[in-house]
């Protein structure tokens, strides 16, 4: 059998550039906390599965938005845009998220050749004709950028149908191709365009590497009895390669994985010529694995095949063994080779008092790890703890996707965080995930048992990262939920002031916080809650409003007992004269405080007997004045006061006093005149009598 391996097989420059960027990020000394790819980086399931195993997340737009929102809490997050590109709208939304969240970074891995097609579409002066497969990511990203009409066609025949319905006086045409489409069909399409649309702008955008790959594959396929095309079954360029080879070779197979080669064993013969090529998204390692598998089929004979079926053991293997006998400190196991399998106590359990005879019985089958194979002694040293630990490791890996929680003692602390021993593995908890303040002493956690959620797995280094804080937050939410289920409007609580804002105070009422607005803290106007309360102060509050959906509680603090308006009505009535303090002035009057929490308006017309331009001409802030209560509006809690009323009353009293004085003076004058006449008459009386006589 002759094997022909294509030289132009495997990663194209655009794919290699993207893969190397992701690999470099994964291998960085301080890799991002999360690595995501918007869609598959490349269309190859084997490579994609490898990324997933190493903790990379393949996501969609909604998942990317959620990751961005979580990035402040979860740490530096990188989102890669796939090699096929994305639509302009999606790219803009991702860039906006990156600008909004400082820990969310977007890196564009779109192939430069694909970007060229995007640019051609964006600058097209008329309708765009695109040779490509509808629904392909590259095509969707191109269509979204075209300012005018777009028509996608997959064959020269389809193009002819499109042009047959087009009027010659329509806008000029721009034609381009998806970078991975078939070269021959594009040549036919260009010929049709040149014949029917003399003014069409035609851009040869099929990747040059793709051209070389297709030309070489066609030549190899023509000289082969069987052509093997390696690549993802949903990869456009791999499918094009397959169809091209199919037209030149009598037998063509498409395989994704090396193990699929075994299915070809029966039809291969020593006289065959087999051509091997691969799509642009196929890793070099995968191509070589397929080639080696084909080469082994070519070179192996039956004796070698038979020899390959004989079981051998090597250090690092995991085997199934059967217990043959049990001693005090060792279990003997048959592992299917001509050597004695020995399983020592310290490779079974850490409990030195455990009875091995109680733990196992002859005939038990065990999964064991091969620590060492000694040909000299004929002994295979085995470990059960290693297999158990590995199994637990896979359980930890599974727990990451499920949001699983581990529990175990904290066995170590350092500046970076703490280490929890759980399920036979050491799990690291970063400082920011311990639930302690930034400058706290993390050694206080050593010796305590903690619950933590697995948040990151590095399968290559077998390193698990967890968050105690995540579990604490979840438990706090559960406690809060229990409190929320019992809350009712009107319930009274003795709460503690947690913090103050310009508009009110937040009060802890037993696991949840409610807000007492400034207008509820005092009956009088306050500028800041610190004028009334302080952090740590206990307050007797009641639930005024409750919004369970939005998790909002509005608390009340004011009551009738401390209502200053009620106290005012108990002490004063209409017509009373009181002493008040000027607290503010406006263009239409001055406000005076009658008692704590009750202000009244002295209208500008009620300040002075004379007309004044503004209150400041007569009054000063802080000045105490005597006023008369001239109006009480209990519905609107408003009070009208008057200085003028008292001045007018004083003036009237003064005028009355003057009148009274004048009247008294007149009365006195009359009384004096009457007295004088009486005295005169008395004096003249004798004379008047003699005269008569």
The angle at the Cα of 181, spanning 178 to 182, to the nearest 5 degrees, equals 150
3-state secondary structure of 552: strand
- Whether 576 and 586 have beta carbons less than 8 Å apart is answered as no
Task: Categorize the per-residue pLDDT at 310 as very low, low, confident or very high, splitting at 50, 70 and 90.
Answer: very low
- Whether 71 and 104 have beta carbons less than 8 Å apart is answered as yes
Token look-up 């608390």 returns 555
Q: Of 329, 331, 350, which Cα lies nearest the Cα of 342?
A: 331
Please give the pLDDT value at position 182: 83
Residue 679 has pLDDT above 70, yes or no: yes
Residue 125: φ, ψ to 5° = -85, -10
Tell me how far apart the alpha carbons of residues 92 and 98 are, in angstroms, rounded to a whole number. Answer: 10
Strand 552-556 with 538-547, pairing: antiparallel
**pLDDT one-digit tens code per residue, 374-419:** 765 668 899 888 887 777 777 777 777 777 888 889 988 888 899 9
Residue 690 has pLDDT above 60, yes or no: no
What is the chain's mean pLDDT, rounded? 86
**pLDDT one-digit tens code per residue, 517-546:** 988 887 777 889 898 889 999 988 899 898
Residue 163 has pLDDT above 90, yes or no: no
Tell me how far apart the alpha carbons of residues 64 and 37 are, in angstroms, rounded to a whole number. Answer: 9
Residue 309 has pLDDT above 50, yes or no: no
What does DSSP assign to residue 612? -
Residues in Cβ contact with 304 at an 8 Å cutoff, skipping those fewer than 6 apart: none
Please give the pLDDT value at position 376: 59
Residue 229 has pLDDT above 60, yes or no: yes
Rounded average pLDDT over 95-115: 93
Q: So which residues are the catalytic ones?
A: 138
Token code pair at residue 566: 């009620």
What does DSSP assign to residue 171? P
Q: Is the dihedral of CA 599, 600, 603, 609 positive or negative?
A: negative
Give the range among 75-84, 289-298, 348-357, 683-692 with minimum mean pLDDT.
683-692
Residue 96 has pLDDT above 50, yes or no: yes
Rounded average pLDDT over 613-621: 91
- Whether 496 and 538 have beta carbons less than 8 Å apart is answered as yes
pTM: 0.43
Percent of the chain clearing pLDDT 70 (strictly above):
94
Rounded average pLDDT over 223-228: 92
**pLDDT one-digit tens code per residue, 315-335:** 888 888 898 888 888 888 888
Q: At what angle do helices 183-196 and 156-164 cross, to 10 degrees?
A: 20
3-state secondary structure of 485: coil
Percent of the chain clearing pLDDT 90 (strictly above):
35
Sequential DSSP letters for 13-53: HHHHHHHHHHHHHHHSSS--SEEEEES-SSS-HHHHHHHHH
Please give the pLDDT value at position 461: 75
Domains of the chain: 114-206 (3.40.1010.20), 212-308 (3.40.1010.20), 318-383 (2.40.50.140), 389-475 (2.40.50.140), 487-559 (2.40.50.140), 563-693 (2.40.50.140)
CA distances from 10 to 283, 437, 661 (A): 6, 51, 125
Q: From the centroid of its chain, how far is CA 329? A: 53
Per the model's pLDDT, the better-predicted residue between 352 and 309 turns out to be 352
CA distances from 158 to 131, 154, 165, 519 (A): 10, 7, 12, 72
Please give the pLDDT value at position 271: 62
- Whether 60 and 101 have beta carbons less than 8 Å apart is answered as no
Tell me how far apart the alpha carbons of residues 548 and 552 are, in angstroms, rounded to a whole number. Answer: 7
Tell me how far apart the alpha carbons of residues 164 and 422 are, in angstroms, rounded to a whole number. Answer: 71
Tell me how far apart the alpha carbons of residues 109 and 15 are, in angstroms, rounded to a whole number. Answer: 9
Residue 574 has pLDDT above 80, yes or no: yes
Residue 302 has pLDDT above 70, yes or no: no
Residues in Cβ contact with 669 at an 8 Å cutoff, skipping those fewer than 6 apart: none
Strand 273-278 with 2-5, pairing: parallel
**pLDDT one-digit tens code per residue, 447-493:** 899 999 988 888 777 788 999 998 898 888 888 788 888 888 888 88
Give the range among 292-306, 309-323, 481-495, 670-684 with minimum mean pLDDT.
292-306
**pLDDT one-digit tens code per residue, 47-81:** 898 899 889 999 999 999 999 999 988 889 999 99
């Amino acid at each position: 059998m002759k094997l022909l391996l294509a030289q132009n097989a495997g990663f194209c420059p655009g794919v290699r550039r993207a893969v190397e960027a992701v690999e470099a990020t994964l291998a960085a000394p301080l890799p991002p906390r999360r690595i995501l790819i918007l869609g598959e980086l490349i269309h190859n399931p084997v490579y994609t599965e490898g990324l997933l195993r190493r903790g990379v997340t393949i996501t969609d737009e909604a998942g990317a938005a959620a990751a961005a929102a979580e990035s402040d809490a979860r740490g530096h997050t990188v989102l890669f845009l796939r090699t096929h590109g994305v639509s302009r709208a999606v790219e803009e939304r991702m860039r906006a998220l990156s600008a909004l969240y400082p820990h969310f970074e977007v890196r564009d891995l779109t192939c430069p050749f694909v970007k060229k097609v995007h640019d051609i579409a964006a600058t097209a002066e008329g309708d765009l004709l695109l040779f490509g497969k509808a629904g392909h990511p590259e095509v969707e990203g191109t269509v979204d950028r075209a300012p005018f009409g777009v028509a996608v066609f997959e064959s020269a025949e389809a193009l002819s149908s499109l042009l047959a319905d087009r009027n010659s006086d329509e806008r000029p045409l721009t034609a381009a191709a998806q970078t991975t489409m078939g070269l021959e069909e594009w040549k036919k399409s260009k010929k049709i365009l040149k014949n029917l649309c003399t003014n069409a702008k035609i851009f040869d955008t099929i990747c040059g590497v793709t051209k070389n790959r297709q030309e070489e594959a066609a030549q190899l396929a023509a000289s082969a009895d069987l052509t093997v095309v390696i690549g993802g079954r949903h990869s456009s360029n791999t499918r094009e390669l397959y169809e091209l080879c199919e037209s030149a070779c009598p037998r063509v197979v498409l395989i994704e994985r090396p193990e699929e080669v075994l299915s070809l064993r029966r039809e291969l013969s020593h006289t065959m010529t087999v051509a091997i090529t691969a799509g642009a998204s196929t890793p070099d390692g995968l191509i070589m694995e397929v080639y080696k598998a084909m080469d082994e089929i070519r070179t192996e004979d039956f004796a070698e095949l038979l020899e390959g079926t004989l079981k051998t053991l090597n250090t690092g293997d995991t085997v199934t063994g059967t217990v043959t006998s049990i001693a005090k400190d060792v279990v003997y196991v048959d592992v299917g080779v001509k050597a004695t399998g020995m399983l020592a106590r310290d490779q079974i359990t850490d409990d030195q008092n455990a009875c091995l005879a109680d733990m196992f019985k002859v005939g038990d089958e065990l999964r064991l790890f091969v620590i060492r194979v000694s040909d000299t002694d004929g002994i295979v040293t085995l470990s059960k703890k290693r297999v158990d630990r590995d199994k637990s490791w896979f359980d930890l890996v599974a727990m990451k996707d499920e949001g699983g929680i581990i529990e175990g003692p904290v066995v170590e602390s350092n500046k970076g965080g703490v280490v929890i021993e759980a399920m036979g593995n050491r799990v690291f908890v970063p400082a920011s995930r311990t639930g302690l303040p930034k400058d706290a002493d993390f050694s206080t956690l050593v010796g305590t048992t903690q619950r933590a959620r697995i948040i990151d797995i590095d399968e290559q280094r077998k390193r698990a990262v967890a968050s105690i804080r995540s579990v604490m937050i979840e438990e706090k939410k559960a406690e809060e939920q229990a409190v929320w289920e019992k809350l009712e409007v009107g319930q009274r609580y003795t709460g503690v002031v947690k913090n103050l804002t310009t508009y009110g105070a937040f009060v802890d009422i037993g696991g949840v916080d409610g807000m007492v607005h400034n207008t509820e803290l005092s009956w009088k106007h306050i500028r800041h809650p610190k004028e009334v309360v302080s952090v740590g102060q206990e307050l007797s509050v009641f639930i005024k409003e409750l919004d369970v959906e939005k998790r909002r509680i509005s608390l009340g603090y004011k009551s009738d007992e401390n209502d200053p308006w009620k106290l005012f009505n108990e002490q004063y009535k209409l017509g009373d004269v009181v002493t008040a303090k000027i607290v503010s002035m406006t263009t239409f009057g001055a406000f005076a405080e009658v008692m704590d929490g009750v202000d009244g308006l002295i209208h500008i017309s009620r300040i002075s007997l004379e007309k004044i331009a503004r209150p400041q001409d007569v009054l000063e802030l802080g000045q105490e004045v005597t006023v008369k209560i001239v109006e009480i509006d209990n519905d609107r809690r408003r009070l009208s006061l008057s200085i003028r009323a008292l001045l007018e009353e004083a003036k009237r009293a003064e005028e009355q006093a003057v009148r009274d004085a004048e009247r008294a003076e007149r009365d006195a004058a009359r009384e004096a005149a009457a007295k004088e006449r009486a005295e005169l008459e008395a004096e003249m009386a004798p004379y008047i009598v003699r005269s008569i006589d």
